[in-house]
């Protein structure tokens, strides 16, 4: 048993060293959280995709070689598929370096109440609870199997954030108000219910259109902010309303279609801007980086924009918006 504990601790220390070297774990408090929270307790098994489907690796496999593969994967800087249903991925444990970036950008302070949308394995909630204390952290997920599993993992690791089964698009009014909201699932737009559950000055960080939008809440009907430089790919939010699918018109140049930044812009403007118009704008603006784009949320709707929310380049998100 002692040898196993040493093995887990060494693997965890190696991961932390890798994250520090990558420059994504500079904050000593987050470095301590990643050092002390045992990720292996949150992913007792996961799935590896292959040519014939998903292969399941788990920590109690009788084959020592497969157990070693499981442990290596747990403490690699890689996302892990943790729940597959009918061949479809429905839940995962995010890449640790991306988690570190998001937690840093969330900019939490002592006493902040945080709502996490998408409980996943419970690992991210444990990192937040390590920093803030369990009483200030709420994590919500639509799937009761996911929340029950997250509760068990958190209990095994010794952390006690509040785990709620519910529609994340509606937030968690019973636990409001919040100083920070972080989503670990991809959104078609920013649910307006979140704003009414935030204190003025609260920060919302959420995956949107293969990017990460960081919004500052002004009041219960207004929020605005820019995208971060970081790309982000997450399992979609379940519940709420789906967003429009991007229209991939034939004839667009292959070089553009294979460009990550153009795909981001195409996804962000889906349902509002013709793909050929998007391509012309992308070239005219010299292939803008993610951080030149932003989102404004009001009581009337929400829109994405390039450079300036009041400028000439703005597009309604789901439901449209007036300006």
Q: Tell me which residues are annotated as active site.
A: 91
In angstroms, the CA 2 to CA 12 distance is 15
Angstrom distance (rounded) from CA 162 to CA 135: 7
CA 137 vs CA 30, 78, 134: distances in Å: 15, 25, 5
> What is the Cα–Cα distance from 293 to 305, expressed in whole angstroms?
6
- Rounded distance between C-alpha atoms, residue 267 and residue 281, angstroms: 14
Q: What residues form DSSP beta bridges with 303?
A: 296, 316
The tokens for 18 are 């890798």
Residue (of 119, 117, 131) closest to 33 by Cα position: 131
- Strand runs labelled E in 175-312: 178-183, 198-208, 211-219, 222-226, 293-298, 301-306
Q: Measured between alpha carbons, how far is 231 from 253 in angstroms, rounded to an integer?
A: 22
Distances 99 to 43, 124, 316 between C-alpha atoms, Å: 15, 7, 29
Task: Check: CB of residue 117 under 8 Å from CB of residue 183.
Answer: yes
Among 280, 273, 279, smallest CA distance to 256 is for: 279
C-alpha–C-alpha distance, residues 160 and 175, integer Å: 15
**Residue 278 CA: distances (Å) to CA of 40, 54, 258, 296:** 43, 37, 15, 19
């Amino acid at each position: 048993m002692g040898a196993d504990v040493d093995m887990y601790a060494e693997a965890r220390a190696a991961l932390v060293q890798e994250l520090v070297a990558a420059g994504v774990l500079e904050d000593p408090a987050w470095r301590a959280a990643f050092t002390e929270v045992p990720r292996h307790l949150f992913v007792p098994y996961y799935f590896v995709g292959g040519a014939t489907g998903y292969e399941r690796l788990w920590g109690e496999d009788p084959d020592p070689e497969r157990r070693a593969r499981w442990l290596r994967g747990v403490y690699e800087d890689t996302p892990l598929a943790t729940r597959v249903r009918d061949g479809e991925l429905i839940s995962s444990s995010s890449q640790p370096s991306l988690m570190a970036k998001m937690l840093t950008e969330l900019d939490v302070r002592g006493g902040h109440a945080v709502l996490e949308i998408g409980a996943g394995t419970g690992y991210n909630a444990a990192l937040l609870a390590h920093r803030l204390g369990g009483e200030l952290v709420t994590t919500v997920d639509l799937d009761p199997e996911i929340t029950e599993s997250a509760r068990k993992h958190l209990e095994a690791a010794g952390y006690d954030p509040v785990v709620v089964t519910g529609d994340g698009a509606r937030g968690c009014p019973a636990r409001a108000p919040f100083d920070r909201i972080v989503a670990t699932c991809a959104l078609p737009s920013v649910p307006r219910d979140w704003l009414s559950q935030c204190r003025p000055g609260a920060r919302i960080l959420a995956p949107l259109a293969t990017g990460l939008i960081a919004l500052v809440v002004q009041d219960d009907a207004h929020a605005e902010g820019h995208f971060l430089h970081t790309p982000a790919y997450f399992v979609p939010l379940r519940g709420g309303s789906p967003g429009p699918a991007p229209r991939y018109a034939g004839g667009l140049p292959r070089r553009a279609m294979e460009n990550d930044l153009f795909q981001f812009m195409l996804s962000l403007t889906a349902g509002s801007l013709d793909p050929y118009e998007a391509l012309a704008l992308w070239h005219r603006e010299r292939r803008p980086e993610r951080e030149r784009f932003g989102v404004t949320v009001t009581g009337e709707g929400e829109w994405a924009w390039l450079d300036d929310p009041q400028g000439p380049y703005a597009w309604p998100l789901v439901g449209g918006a007036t300006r």
